[in-house]
Amino acid sequence: MQASALKHAPAHKDDAPGRRRQRLALIVDDSRLQRHILGKAVRAWGFDVVEAASGDAALEMCRDVSPDLVLSDWMMPGMNGLEFCDAFRKLDRDDYGYFILLTSKSEKEEVARGLEAGADDFVSKPVDLNELRARITAGDRILQMQRELTGKNQLISQTLRELQRLYDSIDKDPIEAKKLQQSLVRERSVVFDQGQVSLLLRSSGHVGGDLVGFFRSGDNHLGLYAIDVSGHGISSALMTARLAGYLSSTAPDQNVALELSREGAYRIRPPLAVMQAINNLVLNEMDTEHYFTMILADVDLTTGKVALAQAGHPHPVVQRKGGNIEQISPGGFPVGLIHDAQFSQFELHLQAGDRLLLCSDGVTECPNDMGDLLAEEGLETIMQNLHDVTGPAFFEALIWKLSEFAGNQDFPDDVSGVLFEYQARPEA
């Protein structure tokens, strides 16, 4: 069959899905008689056949069809079989083509040249049809394994694409949840006449269980709170969203830490009473196994007096104007574990230039590459080094220092904090 017969030869792309296609053999020889003899035999063995009288013509055919089997004479005018084999291997093909060189050459060096060019097997001329059929059968087994492997690879690729699509879909929700959780902290820094509040909320994953915030009341008081819900992930984040509603800065009528005075203005309740109320709300109204640590501070902006209630949260840290560090607190029991839990309240006093830090255990329990924790002493050292750094820049520097200590920025726990820097009015 000459090149014109190519129009009637089957190609890979025309195969019906799900049905095994007829195998295609390409016979390349400058002898018409040799092509006729080989073609007749190969058709009898279940192949469709296309023929070419030269390597150049065969290469042109292979740009349109993908033969499973190539029988090519070595010695031909123009492009010989060895050169055709090398060019054939460089074609962009979906499937592998088994290439047999027909040659009278038997020297080891010539065989090595053929293998280097990409030949799979050799048959000596004159061709023994029984030997040729045996070698084609062996090659067909290789092709069958290759087709099975290709099919399995395609199935794996399809499965990986589907898994990636599902992962992207699953990953989209936590990303949106992270945006919503971060929106719970509406303002990261607010300056008052009597000082400045700065907030830090950094989750170890998409979402976390930490929450920080503040709220004001009409009696010149400021409420500060830091919360760390047990666990990680979506359920912990949902818990923080519920707690944010209990301590809302925009809806004072829903804030359990505020109450109406006789004059009709909202004022802060004692932190101890607030802690007890939240504990009862969690145990009575929330069907959850989560509990949380918490610290709540009531700051009198006029006098600098601070009343605090602590429930298992890390100690509040006071840094005096001169740089000295104080950590004083009773510890306390976490919120949401048992009914009628006993919480305690304590006080401290801020002078102009002092600052108060409430942070989660993601800071003090941050490990280095040796497994050693930063601890309270490490936090004190950082604060002393950052004594002159104020506002949001303090938390940026704190994260940098933690990264240096840990050796990377992928902290194992959420990192959060509230920094209140007190500056009393001159008349105070």
Average pLDDT value for residue range 113-125: 86
Determine the angle formed by the axes of helices 375-385 and 392-406, rounding to 10 degrees: 130
Give tens-digit pLDDT for 177-202. 566 655 656 678 889 889 999 999 88
Give tens-digit pLDDT for 237-293. 788 888 888 998 888 888 999 998 888 888 999 999 999 999 999 998 887 888 999
Backbone angles phi, psi at 131, to 5 degrees: -65, -45
* Rounded CA separation 407/255 (Å): 40
Closest CA to 35 of 43, 44, 25, 27: 27
Closest CA to 201 of 362, 377, 374, 26: 362
> Residue for token digits 């109406």?
260
What's this model's pTM, rounded to 2 decimal places?
0.61
Give tens-digit pLDDT for 79-108. 999 999 999 999 988 778 899 998 876 667
Please answer whether residues 355 and 419 qualify as being in contact, where contact means their C-beta atoms are separated by less than 8 angstroms: yes
Indicate the pLDDT class of residue 161, thresholds 50, 70 and 90: confident
Give tens-digit pLDDT for 20-79. 567 899 999 999 999 999 999 999 999 999 999 999 999 999 988 889 999 999 989 999
Backbone angles phi, psi at 245, to 5 degrees: -70, -35
The pLDDT score that the predictor gives to residue 140 is: 84
Over the chain, what is the mean pLDDT? 85
The pLDDT score that the predictor gives to residue 23 is: 86
Set out the domains of the chain in order of their start, with CATH numbers: 3-154 (3.40.50.2300), 186-422 (3.60.40.10)
Give tens-digit pLDDT for 124-145. 888 899 999 998 988 888 878 8
Give tens-digit pLDDT for 4-14. 333 334 444 44
